[in-house]
Amino acid sequence: MAFFQLGLRRVAAHLSRVPLAAAPCLRQQVPVPPSRILQLSRAVRSYASTTATEPKGPIGPLGGKIAEAVKPAAPSGSSNGSHKSSSFPETNAKVVGYWLVGSAMSVFGIVVFGGLTRLTESGLSITEWRPVTGSLPPMSDADWQSEFDKYRASPEFKLLNPHMDLAEFKKIYFMEWTHRLWGRVVGLTFVLPTLYFIARRRVTPRMAVNLVGISALIGFQGFIGWWMVKSGLKDDLFAPGSHPRVSQYRLTAHLATAFVCYAWMLLSGLGVLRTHRLLRDPEAAAKTIAALKSPALNMLRRSVAGLTVLVFTTVLSGALVAGLDAGLIYNEFPMMGNGLTPPKSELFDKFYSRREDGSDLWWRNMLENPSLVQLDHRILATTTFTAVVALVLYSRTGRVKAAMPKDVRKGVTGLLHLALVQVSLGITTLMYMVPISLAAAHQAGALALLTGALVVGHRLRVPKATQALVQKALQNPSRVQAGAISQKLAKKAAENKGI
């Protein structure tokens, strides 16, 4: 065995001294020039190293700025930089703000159209709730006849429309069908983009929670809508012989949810757009924030918040008026019959009490007696208008006027104009016994007035998260302006290279 090992070592040593036959061929090969991609890569590395070490030319300073701007910073609380940051951004994409405002406008439209559906008494024409299959209207004469037969079994047809034919039924059916289809469109155009923006990390964690909450509220609103319609399909809701209608409580809940959904969308969208606007000029943004922190605006800020609550409460009382058809009585203003108010016996009628001891007399009359419901709405509307005028006068006082930003001043003035229009619409609607056009305009005016109050309140506050972003931008402006600098750098480089 040792003999064979010694022989193998000698053969290996001999072969190592013999030159390989392929070596001369390799030395004679013509060198292949590097590819254009390799040359470009080497040029980029050379240019980058030159820019980083010794900036020259017109783009040298810009190169240094962008390199400094995109240089990663070690996270706080971690010396080795091993801490993994969240994949969600610090600011929402600007498109999210435009989408939210657009969604709010769509909700505005469906609220007004829903009012038209109620005014034309079309809401009870569809007697079933089919979220998926109900998206399509009847396609054949047999389907239309089936839907008409279901409606003829409802209290509204028996007591209100016993002489209605199929052609007239189709008109009110399409009104309600359009309203429900619009609701489905609002839901789909909000839920699907919500999933996309969250999956693509185009929103902050806080905004992601808001979007999920609004999506859930939209679904809940659809349920409340059917819950409301279902109340009008029963004949035991009111006294025998009364006008068939939906429950005023459920109608108020349906309208209140729509208003909350609208306000949530609107404020979220305006917040996104305002953050982007402030970050474009951090120095001006810091001055705006400092101006809004003036003690002279504290009372104004609280007053606007209280006014917003008052407007919303007046809207709810208006929903009770609509649900009870209370606008069809006492069609004069400011008188109600022979005085400013109806007689006390009429306002607190024992007919509406359901307890023997009469303990529910006062609150049931406030919510179910048409005379008292209309009086309550008049009082709330007058109080709201007076509060708007008082707010405008207070904003004109010297100390508040000097501290109030220009956009807030314009918002307060616009709020007064909206209040004047809304009061005029309310009085006109009452005196002309609730015509459809004026009543729909009055409902739209209520939402417009609430919008004005929300916008003024929004302009008087800057969220702490936005203030933190502005402070960060002031401390490191190059990072905030990195996108603009990189665009300038690319443009300069293109000009110098002639491409």
Q: Over the range 46-81, which residues count as b (16 or more CB within 10 Å of their CB) and which as e?
A: eeeeebeeeeeeebeebbebbbebeeeeeeeeeeee
What pLDDT is attached to residue 87? 86
User: Is residue 413 exposed (0-12), middle (13-18) or buried (19+ Cβ within 10 Å)?
Assistant: middle
Angle between helices 248-280 and 205-231 (to 10 degrees): 160
208: nearest Cα among 272, 256, 146: 272
C-alpha to C-alpha distance for 5 and 147, rounded to whole angstroms: 101
- 3-state per-residue secondary structure call for 424-468: HHHHHHHHCCCCHHHHHHHHHHHHHHHHHHHHHHHHCCCCHHHHH
* Inter-residue contact 89 to 201 (CB < 8 Å): yes
Q: Identify the residue whose tokens are 């004469």.
A: 141
What pLDDT is attached to residue 32? 45
Angle between helices 94-119 and 166-199 (to 10 degrees): 160
C-alpha to C-alpha distance for 261 and 376, rounded to whole angstroms: 25
How many of the other CB atoms lie within 10 Å of CB of 2? 6
What pLDDT is attached to residue 78? 39
What pLDDT is attached to residue 497? 58
What pLDDT is attached to residue 159? 85
Q: Which long-range contacts (CB under 8 A, 24 or more apart) does 10-18 make?
A: none
- Rounded to two decimals, what is the model's pTM? 0.79
397-446 pLDDT per residue, tens: 889 999 999 999 999 999 999 999 999 999 999 999 999 999 999 999 99
Q: What is the pLDDT along the chain (499 residues), one digit of tens a residue?
A: 444 444 445 544 554 444 444 444 434 444 444 444 444 445 444 444 444 444 444 444 444 443 444 444 443 333 343 444 568 898 999 999 999 999 999 999 999 999 999 999 999 999 998 888 888 999 999 999 999 999 999 888 988 889 999 999 999 999 999 999 999 999 999 999 999 999 999 999 999 999 999 999 999 999 999 999 988 887 655 455 566 788 999 999 999 999 999 999 999 999 999 999 999 999 999 999 999 999 999 999 999 999 999 999 999 999 999 999 999 999 999 999 889 999 999 999 999 998 888 889 999 999 999 999 999 999 999 999 999 999 999 999 889 999 999 999 999 999 999 999 999 999 999 999 999 999 999 999 999 999 999 999 999 999 999 999 999 888 876 555 554 454 455 556 656 655 4
What pLDDT is attached to residue 235? 60
99: nearest Cα among 218, 266, 215: 266
C-alpha to C-alpha distance for 451 and 61, rounded to whole angstroms: 48
Task: Tell me: cis bond preceding 334? Omega within 30 of 0 counts.
Answer: yes
For residue 372 the two structure tokens come to 């008292």
C-alpha to C-alpha distance for 160 and 177, rounded to whole angstroms: 20
Cβ-Cβ contacts under 8 Å for 353 (sequence gap 6 or more): 360, 361, 364, 365
| Length of the chain measured in residues | 499
What pLDDT is attached to residue 240? 53
* Inter-residue contact 256 to 316 (CB < 8 Å): yes
C-alpha to C-alpha distance for 116 and 118, rounded to whole angstroms: 5
Sign of the C-alpha dihedral computed for residues 259, 264, 268 and 269 taken in this order = negative
What pLDDT is attached to residue 321? 96
* Inter-residue contact 422 to 446 (CB < 8 Å): yes
What pLDDT is attached to residue 36? 43
Q: Where are the alpha helices (DSSP H) in 153-247?
A: 155-159, 166-199, 205-231
Enumerate the β-bridge partners of residue 336.
339
